[in-house]
């Protein structure tokens, strides 16, 4: 497809387990963002990748969170030892070098039980 694709769309996991969320950006988009939105809360920045530059990790809430991106391709967000407060919708967005707008995926709804 032509849009940003995220998988899985829904994930239920037990507290303490690790989860991996995937984002396929639009082909050719150099920038990739991860955000999360907890229930009833606003959009919370997590991490930003731009090409081969060092990522901006300033939004990651703890060292249990990490993300990788190889070049301008797929990104994975990993949450280790999940906690109930990690329950949220995790959104990925990508934008081109021209940066006219960022395109969002549908999000992954993570529920930690």
Partner 1 sequence: DQQVKQNSPSLSVQEGRISILNCDYTNSMFDYFLWYKKYPAEGPTFLISISSIKDKNEDGRFTVFLNKSAKHLSLHIVPSQPGDSAVYFCAADTGNQFYFGTGTSLTVIP
Structure tokens at 5: 């694709």
β-bridge pairing 31-37 and 5-7: unpaired
| Cβ–Cβ under 8 Å, residues 3 and 26 | yes
| Cβ–Cβ under 8 Å, residues 92 and 103 | no
Closest C-alpha to 82, from 53, 113, 52: 113
Q: State which of residues 60, 86, 107, 110 lies at the interface with partner 1 (CB under 8 A).
A: 107
Query: Which of these ranges, 14-22, 61-69, 74-82, 104-112, lies near partner 1 under the rule CB under 8 A?
Result: 104-112
**Residues 21-60: x/- map of binding to partner 1 (CB under 8 A)?**
----------x-x-x-x---xxxxx--x-x-----x----
Q: Report in angstroms how near the CB of residue 42 gets to partner 1 at its nearest.
A: 3
Q: In terms of CB distance, is 4 or 112 closer to partner 1?
A: 4
Q: Report in angstroms how near the CB of residue 80 gets to partner 1 at its nearest.
A: 25
Residue the block writes with tokens 């920045």: 45
Closest C-alpha to 47, from 65, 60, 29: 60
Q: Which residues bind partner 1 (CB under 8 A)?
A: 4, 31, 33, 35, 37, 41-45, 48, 50, 56, 91, 93, 95, 99-107
């Amino acid at each position: 497809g032509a849009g940003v694709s995220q998988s899985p769309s829904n994930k239920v996991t037990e507290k303490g387990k690790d989860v991996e969320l995937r984002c396929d950006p639009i082909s050719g988009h150099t920038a990739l963002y991860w955000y999360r939105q907890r229930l009833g809360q606003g959009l919370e920045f997590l991490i930003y990748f731009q090409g081969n530059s060092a990522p901006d990790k300033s939004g990651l809430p703890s060292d249990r969170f990490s993300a990788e991106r190889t070049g301008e391709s797929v990104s994975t967000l990993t949450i280790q030892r999940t906690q109930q407060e990690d329950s949220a919708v995790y959104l990925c967005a990508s934008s081109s070098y021209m940066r006219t707008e960022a395109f969002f995926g549908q999000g992954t709804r993570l529920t930690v039980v």
